[in-house]
A and B are shown apart, each in its own frame.
Chain A
């Protein structure tokens, strides 16, 4: 149970108005992500040196003022994409949490990466998200909503692929009490999951591009 990643599904290029779009689901958790740009930017937000990131996570209910996932996706994108390639522009990444059955943070990060891949952004490194919770001193990868509700600690890893091909931590968000040994154990569990997600990225994009070439 601890070392299992739920079934992943992905659809690309289905929204008419977005430049890149992805419908990604892990188990019963489903998100839609879209990416538009680089495009023109308002003068108050423009930067002469780098591209401006406009990231928004939107839940089903409630207002969309701010969500904690905006910060971790923003940090991850700043690291994964060379923003200096597109000065004085902006990119808009929108993630809609369509159905929540746990691990919404990890699924949102994965969906955002798929939308950027579908858009054709120049990546320096791909990234993915892995959520690990602690339930009675047992660590669970990719928990369901019930497991997440019963957990005493939660840590969301945003993982990048390093230059040597191994996963590296890019951003991290921890809730609850975690000591160093537990974090190390969680990271050792997250690494094979990140490698599996990177392989899924490669499989999906290979399939998409193979259909295009025929």
Chain B
């Protein structure tokens, strides 16, 4: 199927807005979109979201025979799939020019930057090596596809564990995950990719452009660097003549971004290790992708969800610590104070939301209708207080969550109450908007 192109008036409006420093998603020109990372139950799987762009990466390994030219080194293969889910113009099993560019750049960033120790993947020189395969699936497209794909692939490689191997004379023993613990890959550094759009012959810099902005720009430059401020790759699209000052400015912006995202990846991997260290297989994408999707929409939906799921406020406060993009870009001198303020606000909101949940719990204990009615009035009042602080201009996505399962009678009561709380919260927000 064909995609509707950007119309002339749409392009004119976008260009006029960019030249006066404004964007249609209310960002400034040098502001990044939110990044959200989730790792799955299987080792080596990760879903990354930048704005509306969603990419999934999965890593697998098998034993193969090395090439005669490099008998001591393992192999890393990158495979990219442009799914019709991401864009209905994509055909099945056809990459096109965009897909080929994506594969070459990912190979350049992940393989040719030598971020993974390929000599450690050798089992027996000249006979047996590990062959690592990274499958990247594009699930939704809204610009900055390479940034999202690179971050998902790096996270999946960090998350991956290969089976333990023991060498004996004339044969090799491969242990399952129940016999010996799997071994992580040796990763030297994490290259993080940043796409920067350019306008007016490079005079105007547009960071992290969306799909429609990309169609209106003169071109873009892609900078991949790690947190040690080393540039791993530099790629420029279309025909542009740039001065070294312009390129240096882009590289500085990308380096600040790489430091922030490296902290995000490390934090996500650590949290997953804590979950797995209790010999418990985490639920992975079945539980975390709904929270990932919900928080990609608006701030209000994230806060409204908090009373139902207890673990969410903690993870949000931790993630917000590592992603103060606005703070980093706007006023670096007062980073510490602004961070503290953000944390205090969110803890206050979390406390208020826990009081709402406690009031819902009170409804369970007492069976009288009068107490239930009064507690719901309290809920509505507290929700109105919360919604006063929120922007009324937030657009709410059509996101629906339902759970159904055969559970014991004791668990039925909280399941019935929780949707009521959600309905009352959503109703209160709707009334606020009207």
Q: Is B17 an interface residue (CB 8 A)?
A: no
In the complex, chain B residues whose CB is within 8 Å of the CB of A153:
none
In the complex, chain A residues whose CB is within 8 Å of the CB of B406:
4-5
Give min CB distance, A39 to chain B, whole Å.
Answer: 3
In the complex, chain B residues whose CB is within 8 Å of the CB of A7:
403-405
Q: Is B9 an interface residue (CB 8 A)?
A: no
A contact residues, range: 35 or more
The CA-CA distance from A4 to B135 in the complex, in Å, is 34
Q: Which candidate, B27-35, B80-88, B115-123, B354-362, is the interface stretch facing chain A? A: B80-88
Most buried by B among A10, A25, A98, A101: A98
Give min CB distance, B384 to chain A, whole Å.
Answer: 16
Q: Which of A1-60 contact B (CB under 8 A)?
A: 4-19, 21, 23, 25, 27-30, 32, 34, 36-37, 39-41, 54, 56, 58, 60
Q: Is A183 an interface residue (CB 8 A)?
A: no
Q: Is B414 an interface residue (CB 8 A)?
A: no
Give min CB distance, B250 to chain A, whole Å.
Answer: 27
In the complex, chain A residues whose CB is within 8 Å of the CB of B284:
28, 30, 99
Question: A64-B81, A65-B93, A98-B285 in contact; A8/B404 too (CB < 8 A)?
Answer: yes
Question: A17-B141, A23-B293 in contact; A96/B405 too (CB < 8 A)?
Answer: no
The CA-CA distance from A27 to B285 in the complex, in Å, is 10
Residue of A nearest to B210 (CB): A16
Give min CB distance, B293 to chain A, whole Å.
Answer: 4
The CA-CA distance from A32 to B391 in the complex, in Å, is 31
Give min CB distance, B147 to chain A, whole Å.
Answer: 16
In the complex, chain B residues whose CB is within 8 Å of the CB of A5:
405-406
The CA-CA distance from A20 to B133 in the complex, in Å, is 31
Q: Is A211 an interface residue (CB 8 A)?
A: yes
In the complex, chain B residues whose CB is within 8 Å of the CB of A174:
none
Say whether B401 contacts A94, CB under 8 Å: no
Residue of A nearest to B142 (CB): A16
Contact pick for B2, options A40, A62, A96, CB 8 Å: A40
Q: Is A166 an interface residue (CB 8 A)?
A: no
In the complex, chain B residues whose CB is within 8 Å of the CB of A204:
400, 402
Q: Is A137 an interface residue (CB 8 A)?
A: no
Tally of chain B residues near chain A (CB < 8 A): 51
Question: A23-B293, A56-B92, A64-B92 in contact; A203/B84 too (CB < 8 A)?
Answer: no
Question: A16-B142, A204-B400 in contact; A36/B135 too (CB < 8 A)?
Answer: no
Say whether B41 contacts A99, CB under 8 Å: yes
Q: Is B399 an interface residue (CB 8 A)?
A: yes
Q: Is B205 an interface residue (CB 8 A)?
A: no
Say whether B289 contacts A30, CB under 8 Å: yes
Contact pick for B401, options A6, A9, A16, A62, CB 8 Å: A9
Q: Is A175 an interface residue (CB 8 A)?
A: no
Question: A58-B81, A58-B83 in contact; A37/B88 too (CB < 8 A)?
Answer: yes
The CA-CA distance from A54 to B141 in the complex, in Å, is 20
Give min CB distance, B144 to chain A, whole Å.
Answer: 13
Say whether A99 contacts B285, CB under 8 Å: yes
Say whether A98 contacts B40, CB under 8 Å: yes
Contact pick for B135, options A8, A15, A62, A214, CB 8 Å: A62
Say whether A32 contacts B139, CB under 8 Å: yes
Q: Which of B127-165 contact A (CB under 8 A)?
A: 133, 135, 137, 139-142
29 contacts between A and B (CB under 8 A): A5-B405, A11-B289, A11-B400, A11-B401, A13-B397, A13-B399, A13-B400, A15-B139, A16-B52, A19-B88, A23-B289, A27-B286, A28-B41, A32-B85, A32-B139, A32-B289, A37-B88, A39-B88, A40-B1, A54-B92, A60-B56, A61-B58, A92-B1, A92-B88, A96-B56, A98-B289, A99-B286, A100-B42, A203-B404
Which A-B residue pairs are the 8 nearest by beta carbons? A7-B405, A39-B1, A36-B88, A25-B286, A34-B85, A60-B58, A13-B398, A94-B85
